[in-house]
A and B are shown apart, each in its own frame.
Chain A
């Protein structure tokens, strides 16, 4: 049994574990709504558009989280604003902003003449999480989870039937913007864990796996968080014992869970 505890004699592993736990909790819970509302593309886009915010903050030695949050929220509002009259379709608006902002980030990095400094932004750095990072991640986790609990019925209704929401005076756009802001906050924390490139995996994969396993929304959220937590733990062990990237191991464990659920689902269906 000692191999189970061995990794956690190091402080950086404990910090990494706490961060991974918090990040997977938030990502999985909000990810269920992202999947049900077919917003997978937005999740990925938000993760990428945060890059210039991070770079600007880094170069000026400002708080990285602040830079990322500002860039994320600006993008969330920008997408809504660009596509508000449907002259530009929403997926087109996302595509334009997403690539534009990411390119801006790369441009700023290349101007700083140092790609190496930014690899942890692109691929995450779970084992470099500091106590201050943990406090921020914890605050964001608490904010996002309590917002989901508090506005659960509105999130559910506007995901399922925005028309009825509008009829009863609940503006679906307000809920949407709120969700986008929560999503921007979530993405900022998960960049620390798995980086810009893999963040959408934490949002989408556990939720999609849960959607294969249950037809009930609450249960879907519980299963998604459980899968995400288990994958984070397994991924961390894999990274410790095989010396591979922690972010990539966590994402691949999630992908394996999805694959297993998908195969199980198909076997069940062919038997019926």
Chain B
């Protein structure tokens, strides 16, 4: 029995993986709009960057896309369907600081929670789930840490474990919030490799970043945000495909 059995819709042919139209949203308890009429269109199979300084609304837009935050107005479509109906197909990578890293759980079990969307109530992980978890641990080069408690991980290892969980979900749309923020060079290289593989597999990724350095080589398009609004790309910066 899946957690939300009504939440499955067949994808609409040729629909973009993610489409947000004039989204207005604010955080609970705050009167100011964190997003003020932002629109975004992410064609299936592309890799799109959300670029802007802290507080620009990148994380908020990802949260709205993931269904964690209800927009006050505007519309969000995933694979052409109205929101909240594609749990299996959407994975979300939170910022590292949003998690309680002291919680008593080991790396393998953390990554296994990525499989829960396919298990639902009462079902325990099967051998196939174990195999998938082993495989993603291998891909992120943290297989040797599988039995380690998450409180004993370095920042880069934590980030890899979180990305491993998102991969274990086998989603088609990956919403990644600052995956490269404050990680070591090895982790950067591993994550870059994983992102390249995702692209080859035809998966769609939307990545919030303030790291403008390598945009052109890594992304198909970018949406620039500042104070909750879309802004024109700074002169000379990467543009790529149209994302509106």
What mask results when residues 178 to 192 of chain B are scored 1 for a CB within 8 Å of chain A, else 0?
000000000000000
Q: What CA separation (Å) do A167 and B175 show in the bound complex?
A: 11
- Chain A positions 186-228 with a Cβ under 8 Å from a chain B Cβ: 211, 214-217, 220
A-B CB pair tally, cutoff 8 Å: 69
The 6 closest A-B pairs by CB, nearest first: A169-B4, A168-B117, A169-B87, A170-B3, A169-B3, A160-B103
Contact B105 A160 (CB under 8 A): yes
Contact A168 B94 (CB under 8 A): no
Number of interface residues of B (CB under 8 A): 34
Classify the interface of chain A: helix, strand, loop or mixed.
Answer: helix
Residues of chain B within 8 A of A171, CB atoms compared: 3
Contact A217 B104 (CB under 8 A): yes
Q: A161-B99, A161-B113, A217-B104 are in contact. Are A167 and B67 (CB under 8 A)?
A: yes
What mask results when residues 132 to 172 of chain A are scored 1 for a CB within 8 Å of chain B, else 0?
00000000000000000011011011011101101111110
Contact B151 A168 (CB under 8 A): no
Interface membership of B34, Cβ < 8 A: no
Number of interface residues of A (CB under 8 A): 25
Q: For B117, give its contact among A36, A86, A160, A169 (CB under 8 Å).
A: A169
- Chain B positions 1-39 with a Cβ under 8 Å from a chain A Cβ: 2-4, 7, 28-29
Residues of chain B within 8 A of A220, CB atoms compared: 104
Q: What CA separation (Å) do A214 and B151 show in the bound complex?
A: 12
Contact B149 A164 (CB under 8 A): no
Residues of chain B within 8 A of A157, CB atoms compared: 113, 116
Contact A167 B90 (CB under 8 A): yes
Nearest CB to that of B4 among chain A residues?
A: A169
Contact B106 A216 (CB under 8 A): yes
Q: For A169, give its contact among B2, B91, B109, B149 (CB under 8 Å).
A: B2
Contact A156 B105 (CB under 8 A): yes
Contact B98 A163 (CB under 8 A): yes
Interface membership of B200, Cβ < 8 A: no
Q: A168-B117, A169-B7 are in contact. Are A163 and B94 (CB under 8 A)?
A: yes
Q: How far is the CB of B107 from chain A (nearest CB, A)?
A: 12
Q: Would you give 20 A-B contacts (Cβ < 8 Å), ordered by A?
A: A36-B103, A150-B122, A151-B121, A156-B109, A157-B113, A160-B113, A161-B94, A161-B113, A163-B94, A164-B165, A166-B68, A167-B67, A167-B68, A167-B90, A167-B91, A167-B92, A170-B4, A211-B104, A215-B104, A216-B104
